Amino acid sequence: MNAPQKAQEAMMTTPYYEAVGKEKLVFKAAYNQGLSILLKGPTGCGKTRFVEAMAHELNRPLITVSCHDDLTTADLVGRFLLKGGETQWVDGPLTRAVREGAICYLDEVVEARKDTTVVLHPLSDHRRQLPIERLGITLDAAPGFCLVVSYNPGYQSILKDLKDSTRQRMVAIEFDYPAPETEQTILIQESGVTADTAEQLITLAQAIRRLETGGLREVASTRVLIAAARLTTEGLSLREAARYAIAAPLSDDPQVTAGLNKMIEAYLTE
């Protein structure tokens, strides 16, 4: 399995997450009832950090898979591999989560092929089972197992959308960028910058978010604000940090980038 396909697995250590609504309450309720969870929201709004925080709070191991269009069922479930001259079965990340009672998080699930996500159906309804055809067995999910998937509705299309039969097996939690005061707390917590620096970055982000497309596929996320804030702690000026961490990642179009840089000059002080 190559790098993009490799699952990242770890017990979380005090990840910071600032609640903005009832998302924690809904997640815990769904988890306690053995229900699968669908997280919807724009890029960089905190979906992944939320899952990390909930895994820590529930004291469950977290197995994360970044989905992509080459992800196969075997990548998730497992495959036979040649080891030391013998053919051995190796569990995929989904199977490990089912066996261990872990939280399995499929990030940007709509990027995976539709024939791959079908394997989730018996896991995400009342059966909570994972059939492994190559082994001729069906695994019952261990206590504590929870399936969580996420996607960005802004990227929806006929070709990239979650099947209705999959969506209706899950409890959906919608995310958006947090309120300014909450986002300011997040920036300070994640980067260590002053309240003034955080406030300036958020003011800039709000201005970018008010743009009507303007050639941008995505607006300034909380994630890019944190990156810019962190750059300032290494000696870059606030405007320099914003150019490298906000304007440049948001667009490759010279005119759009120039417009973003003008906004940086207008909203940020050195």
Domain check: are 185 and 110 in the same one? Answer: no
pLDDT tens string 179-225: 999 999 999 999 999 999 999 999 999 999 988 666 788 889 999 99
Containing domain of residue 50, as a range?
A: 3-174
Domain check: are 151 and 224 in the same one? Answer: no
Q: In the prediction, which pLDDT does 84 show?
A: 80
Q: Are 107 and 65 in contact (CB under 8 A)?
A: yes
Domain check: are 263 and 237 in the same one? Answer: yes
Domain check: are 143 and 242 in the same one? Answer: no
Domain check: are 51 and 117 in the same one? Answer: yes
Q: In the prediction, which pLDDT does 242 show?
A: 98
Instruction: Please give the residue that has the higher pLDDT: either 255 or 18.
Output: 255
Q: What's the CA gap between 197 and 142, in Å, rounded?
A: 46
Write the DSSP assignment of 243-266 as a string of letters. IIIIIHHH---HHHHHHHHHHHHH
Tokens of 258: 């120039």
Tokens of 205: 């982000």
Q: Is 85 helix (H, G, I), strand (E, B) or coil?
A: coil
Give me the chain's average pLDDT, please.
89
pTM confidence score: 0.84
| Percent over 70 (pLDDT), the chain | 90
β strands within the chain, DSSP E: 8-10, 36-40, 62-66, 78-83, 86-91, 103-107, 129-132, 137-140, 146-151, 170-174
Arithmetic mean of pLDDT, 239-262: 95
End-to-end C-alpha distance for the chain, whole angstroms: 46
Q: In the prediction, which pLDDT does 102 show?
A: 98
